[in-house]
Amino acid sequence: MKIYLRLFANARDLAGFGEQAVDLEGNPRAAEVLDYLSRVNPEFNAWRRSIRLAVNRRYVDEGHVLSENDEVAVIPPVSGG
């Protein structure tokens, strides 16, 4: 199943890309995006608990079931203001 990843700030630096289409098998949950990123760069493991995911611009928890063509944003701790 194809999803579209968007990465920001520190997460983009760790991954080395800001956008990527990714094929995940079966009925993946949002957590599998974090598993994928940990394979891209093991340093993501240290950030895993502080990263939030947003599907189609809404925050979701790690158990959220993804759908075909979802846009999954990888949101490291926000620091606006």
Partner 1 sequence: MVALTLNPIDIEAVVAKLITPASGGVNVFIGTTRNHSHGREVTLLEYEAFEPMAIELMGDLERRAHEQWPLHGVVLVHRLGKVSIGEASVVVGVSASHRKEAFEACRYLIDSLKKEVPVWKREHFADGTVEWSGENQKSQIKKQNKSKSEIKN
Residue ranges in contact with partner 1 by CB under 8 A: 6, 8-10, 13, 46-47, 50, 54, 57, 59, 73, 75-81
- Nearest approach, Cβ of residue 25 and partner 1 (Å): 27
Cβ proximity to partner 1, 26 vs 81, nearer residue: 81
Q: Give the C-alpha separation, 11 to 36, whole Å.
A: 13
Phi/psi for 67 (5° steps) reads -120, 160
Q: Give the C-alpha separation, 44 to 11, whole Å.
A: 8
Cβ proximity to partner 1, 46 vs 65, nearer residue: 46
